[in-house]
Amino acid sequence: MLRAYDLYKAYKMGKASVEVLSGVSLSAKASEFLVILGSSGSGKSTLLHLLGALDIPDKGDVEFQGKSVFQRAKKSRENYRNRDVGFVFQFYHLLPELTVLENVIIPRLIGTPALKWLSHRREAKKEALAMLDRVGLSHRVKHRPNELSGGERQRVAIARALINKPTLLLADEPTGNLDEKIGAEILDLLSEFNSAGQTIIMVTHDARVAVRAHRQVRLVGGKIEKVVPAQPSPALA
Amino acid sequence: MYKWFLAWRYLHTKLIAFFGIASVSLCVAMVLVVMSVMGGFLDTIRERSRGLHSEILLETSSLQGFPFYGEFQEYLADHHADTVSMTTPVIYTYGIFRVPATKYTRPARVVGMRLNEYTQLNDFKQGLHYEHYFPGTTHLGPQRMPVGGIDANQRLVLPKDLEAANARWRESETDVEKKKNYEANPYEMAIYPPYVTTPIYGERVYAFGDDGPGYVGPKNSGVIIGCDMLNERRDDGDFDRFLARGADIAVTLMPISPGGNVTGEPPVRLPLRYVDDSRTGIYEIDDLCIYVDFDMLQHKLAMDPQALADGGMSRARINQMLIGLHDGTDLETGKAVVSAAWEKFLDSLGNKPSLMDVNMLNHTSVMTWEDMQRPFIQAVEKEKVLVTLLFSLISLVAMALVGCVFYMIVEKKTRDIGILKAIGASARGVAGLFVAYALAVGICGAILGTGLGVVFVWNINDIQSFLASLNPQLRVWSPEVYSFDKIPEIVKTWDAIGVAVVAVLASVAGSIIPATIAGRIWPVKALRYE
Ligand SMILES: Nc1ncnc2c1ncn2[C@@H]1O[C@H](COP(=O)(O)OP(=O)(O)OP(=O)(O)O)[C@@H](O)[C@H]1O
Ligand SMILES: [Mg+2]
């Protein structure tokens, strides 16, 4: 479903240029839960951003459902970000002025033309409420993000990422800012969505988190180093 | 859609939006106030200028005047009665004005007019003070000084004819307030004799004697005096009159020969009687002009036919002819008709005019009242444009401020912009969000500013009075200078709409650069760190 070919990415720092990704190739199947492991600074976020088309590679391409992501028109790439993938960030990145419900609805609002929105509004709201219910936040819909705990914020971010029913969910250390217990709850939630068929690619530096995955890959020295076959989760065992 | 939604949300959750709105509304209010006050000033001046002369004027630029006016009046009556309704001759000269009782002297522009004809052609009559309360009693012919007596109730009683005229006014006056004001203080008194003094003064001043109401003194020609020449204007726009109606006035003139030489030896001294004061509303006129009888003045200035050394007679001269048009006649058409008539008339004179006459006729021209007042109106017009321009420039600064405010918002919102882009918003959409935001700020500012400006203009005189009560230095609108009682208080709808629309456009324009910057923000750059 998703394939990355030979991705290169370097950052210029003054005159020097630091190559972060040097030929990363990767693929994910539908309904798979893939974890990309790597130490801090190894370029995990960089890779995930490329997969989500938030950034452009120096070389290489990403193919989504058989179609190149970076050779598309701008408009089509925006649609890709809006509909085909959902993104969950380590730092939640909610819009502080909006309520929880509005934060969840906003991707839908962005993806719907103004005129159509008028007729679609109720339905979108219903779907957003249902989504908040699934992440266990139906009692918080009117709150602002700064009134929520970290775990609650991340749940809102997950709801937002999934509101447009994306084929692929990209999660960049979603538990990185949370304590172990709350982190585990978030991972449970992701696993739950995955069991329901949601494809997930998650990035982490924490091996304990990685065990949730069907499959793990490790990013070392700008390349995918080793592929770990899926193991049963100790928590489930 | 989301841009409107977010713009709306940012508008009432971000404090900084209020700085934008405040600067837009203050600019709108400022420009609107300036435009309204200057515009009102201009309109009043134009309105008053229209009532000053007549539709068309035959003018000479030279002080000795021009001949053949009587013949031309006849010519117009014979040939252009369908266009021209009426004509009247006017003489202009300069003299020294003196009030013998107070030994007060001033330069004056002396206007010789046929009062009953003159008042039919313009608004002169509306500006006469005593004529208003005593209709039919102001005339420029020889007259004595009216004095009042004191009745049993210690009230001033005037001669019977004046009381009768006053009663006529009271009957016809429809403004109850005005009547009540009058009853409260019917005629202020000036003590006379010994002549005119200042212990009592007010709006209507009459002298009184010991023998009861009547007329005293020799019969002198009447003079109407520009209201600012003698009287002191109060802050409320009314006048304090010191001089009694009928007081003696002396005017000294210097006659000018047809060749332009000053001839009078010694200068001509005219004993006159103050019958009324005139207010045209143009300070430059009301502070300079006095009005006397045309025929008397013409004679005293030797502008009537004079015996010449060769046994012939010179021709009578005037300085200006007022020419009225029938109602509904277009001003420029009227001017064209009169100009053509004047040319044709001059041609028809053949070799009748002497060399001197030809010289004088060469200085004449036909004008409309607009032509006549143009330099003055244009000066005010330019002033209006200039002041509006200046204030618009200041507003530009405020628009730059709106740009700054938006730039700051974009800087502060970089992360949010990154988030929006990460979930699929386009560069255009994000830029549009900020333009929409600016539009909202502009509209709020424009509405608020228009409201503020309108309220300010409507209450501008009260505001000024309040400021003046704190410190007299703060009285900026001086009625003595502007000759208006009040600062204009009217806001024109189109002015308000225009200023508001420009303000909205300007704030949108001010947001374009920050909006473009916002649109170019690269999602990862904005999102990388908390
Ligand atoms: N915009 C940038 N300019 C310069 N260098 C950058 C930029 N973004 C990332 N880098 C560098 O690229 C390298 C990889 O960064 P990246 O954020 O992808 O690592 P990461 O594996 O996600 O690390 P972490 O686990 O800390 O999130 C780091 O050394 C980082 O300093
Ligand atoms: Mg990272």
DSSP B7-33: HHHHHHH-HHHHHHHHHHHHHHHHHHH
Task: Evaluate: CB of A49 within 6 angstroms of ligand 1.
Answer: no
Cis link prior to B193 (omega < 30° from 0)?
yes
* ipTM, 2 dp: 0.90
Which pLDDT belongs to residue B270? 93
Indicate if ligand 1 lies below 6 Å from the C-beta of A42: yes
Burial label, A210 (beta-carbon count in 10 A; 0-12, 13-18, 19+): buried
Torsion angle in degrees (nearest 10) through CA of A95, A99, A101, A103:
-10
Q: Where are the domains of chain A?
A: 31-55+78-228
Buried b vs exposed e over B123-141: b needs ≥16 C-beta within 10 Å?
Answer: ebbebbbbbbbbeebbbbe
**Per mean pLDDT, which range of A119-128, B231-240, B294-303 is the poorest?**
B231-240
Cβ neighbors of B398 (< 8 A, separation 6 or more) are B23, B24, B26, B27
User: Which of B2, B522, B523 faces A110 most closely, judged by CB atoms?
Assistant: B2
Q: What is the mean pLDDT of chain B?
A: 87
Q: Which residues of A touch B414 (CB under 8 A)?
A: none
- For the stretch B440-443, contacts whose Cβ atoms lie closer than 8 Å and that sit 24 or more positions apart, written own/partner, are B440/B7, B440/B8, B440/B11, B441/B11, B441/B17, B441/B20, B441/B21, B441/B24, B441/B402, B441/B507, B442/B24, B442/B402, B442/B503, B442/B504, B442/B505, B442/B506, B442/B507, B442/B508, B443/B504
B15-50 helix and B369-412 helix, angle to the nearest 10 degrees: 180
Closest CA to B121 of B92, B90, B82: B90
Residue A78 with chain B: CB contacts under 8 Å: 424-426
Residues comprising chain B, all counted? 530
Give the pair of three-digit tokens for residue B320.
């200006």
Within 13 A of B106's CA, how many CA atoms are on the CB side?
Answer: 16
Q: Are B305 and B313 in contact (CB under 8 A)?
A: yes
User: What is the structure's pLDDT at B317?
Assistant: 94
How far apart CA B209 and CA B223 sit, in angstroms, is 22
For residue A230, the tally of other CB atoms under 10 A from its CB is 13
Q: Is B180 on the interface with A (CB under 8 A)?
A: no
Beta-carbon separation of B429 and A117 below 8 A: no
pLDDT digits (tens, 9 = 90+) for B209-225: 777 888 988 999 999 99
CA-CA distance, A201 to A217, in Å (whole number)? 11
3-state secondary structure B164-195: HHHHHHHHHCCCHHHHHHHHHCCCEEEECCCC
Residue A229 is predicted with a pLDDT of: 58
A91 in ligand 1 pocket by Cβ < 6 Å?
no
Q: Is B423 on the interface with A (CB under 8 A)?
A: yes
| pLDDT of amino acid B121 | 92
Q: Are B136 and B279 in contact (CB under 8 A)?
A: no
> Hey, what amino acid is at A152?
E
**Secondary element (H or E) of residue B399:** helix B369-412
Ligand 2 centroid to residue B207 C-alpha, Å: 101
Please list the alpha-helical segments (H only) found in chain A. 44-51, 74-79, 100-111, 114-134, 150-162, 180-195, 207-210
Q: What is the pLDDT of residues B98-144, one digit of tens each?
A: 998 888 899 999 999 999 999 999 989 999 999 999 999 999 999 99
Q: Which residues are CB-contacts of B49 (< 8 A; sequence separation ≥ 6)?
A: B282, B369, B370, B372, B373, B376, B377
Structure confidence at residue B445 as a pLDDT band (50, 70, 90): very high
Residue of chain B whose Cα is closest to the Cα of A52 = B422
Amino acid letter for position B483:
S
Q: Is A81 an 8 Å CB contact of chain B? A: yes
Structure tokens at A164: 């447009």
Tokens of A232: 């049963």
Q: What is the pLDDT of residue B250?
A: 95
Query: Counting atoms of ligand 1 from 1, which one is nearest the CA of A13?
Result: 4
CB A212 within 8 A of CB A191: yes
Q: Is the CB of A13 under 6 A from ligand 1?
A: yes
Query: Which atom of ligand 1 is nearest the CA belonging to A203?
Result: 22
CA B76 to chain centre: 32
Q: Is the CB of A20 under 6 A from ligand 1?
A: yes
Instruction: Quote the pLDDT of residue A230.
Output: 54
3-class state of residue A63 by DSSP: strand
pLDDT of B239 over the 50 cut:
yes
Distance from first CA to last CA of chain B, Å, rounded?
Answer: 28
Three-state DSSP at B313 gives strand
Residue B424 is nearest to which of A45, A79, A94, comparing CB atoms?
A79
Give, for ligand 1, the residue of B521, B525, B528, B529 to mutate: max count of ligand atoms closer than 8 Å to Cβ.
B528
For residues B144 and B497, give the distance between their C-alpha atoms in angstroms, rounded to a whole number: 58
The per-residue pLDDT for range A121-157, each reduced to its tens digit, is: 899 999 999 999 999 999 989 999 999 999 999 999 9
| pLDDT for residue B484 | 66
Answering whether pTM is above 0.90, one says: no
Judged against a pLDDT cut of 80, whether residue B10 lies above it is answered with no
Q: Cα of B240 to ligand 2 centre, how many Å?
A: 87
Q: What is the DSSP letter of B316?
A: P
In chain B, residues with a C-beta closer than 8 Å to the C-beta of A171 are none
Residue of A nearest to B433 (CA): A110
Region of B39 on the Ramachandran plot (φ > 0 left; ψ -120 to 50 alpha; else beta): alpha
Q: Which amino acid makes up residue B35?
A: M
What are B453-500's pLDDT values in tens digits?
Answer: 999 999 988 888 888 888 877 777 665 555 666 778 888 889 899 889
Pocket test for ligand 1, best of A17, A18, A217 (most atoms within 8 A of CB): A18
For residues A36 and A201, the answer to whether their CB atoms sit within 8 Å is yes
Q: ∠ CA B268-B274-B279 to the nearest 5 degrees?
A: 110
Under DSSP, the state recorded for B257 is -
C-alpha triplet A38, A44, A46: angle, nearest 5°: 160
The closest residue, in CA terms, to atom 29 on ligand 1 is A41
Nearest to B423 by CA among A81, A104, A53, A154: A81
Structurally, at CATH architecture level, domain A31-55+78-228 sits in: 3-Layer(aba) Sandwich (3.40)
* Residue found by looking up tokens 């006659």 in the block: B255
Interval A164-210: pLDDT, tens: 999 999 999 998 888 889 999 999 999 999 999 999 999 988 888 87
And the tokens for A158?
A: 């997950």
The amino acid present at B417, given as its one-letter code, is I
Assign A235 a pLDDT band (cuts: 50, 70, 90). Answer: very low
Q: In terms of pLDDT, which residue wins out, B93 or B480?
A: B93
**Dist CA A117 CA A108 (whole Å):** 9
Cα–Cα distance for residue pair B369/B46, rounded to 1 Å: 10
* Cβ neighbours of residue B2 closer than 8 Å, sequence gap 6 or more: A106, A109, A110, B420, B425, B429, B433
Higher-pLDDT residue of A236 and B286 is B286
DSSP string, B75-139: HHHHH-TTTEEEEEEEEEEEEEEEETTTTEEEEEEEEEE-HHHHHHHSSGGGGBHHHHHSTT---
Residue A236: pLDDT over 50: no
Reply yes or no on whether the pLDDT at B202 is more than 60: yes
Report the share of chain B in percent with pLDDT over 70: 94
- Quick check: A76 contacting B, CB < 8 Å? no
How many angstroms separate the CA atoms of B338 and B498, rounded?
40
Rg, C-alpha atoms of chain B: 33
Task: Give the confidence band of A162 by pLDDT, cuts at 50, 70, 90.
Answer: very high
Q: For an interface test with B, give the residue of A110, A146, A158, A170 to mutate (most B CBs within 10 A).
A: A110
Does any CB of chain B come closer than 8 Å to the CB of residue A41? no
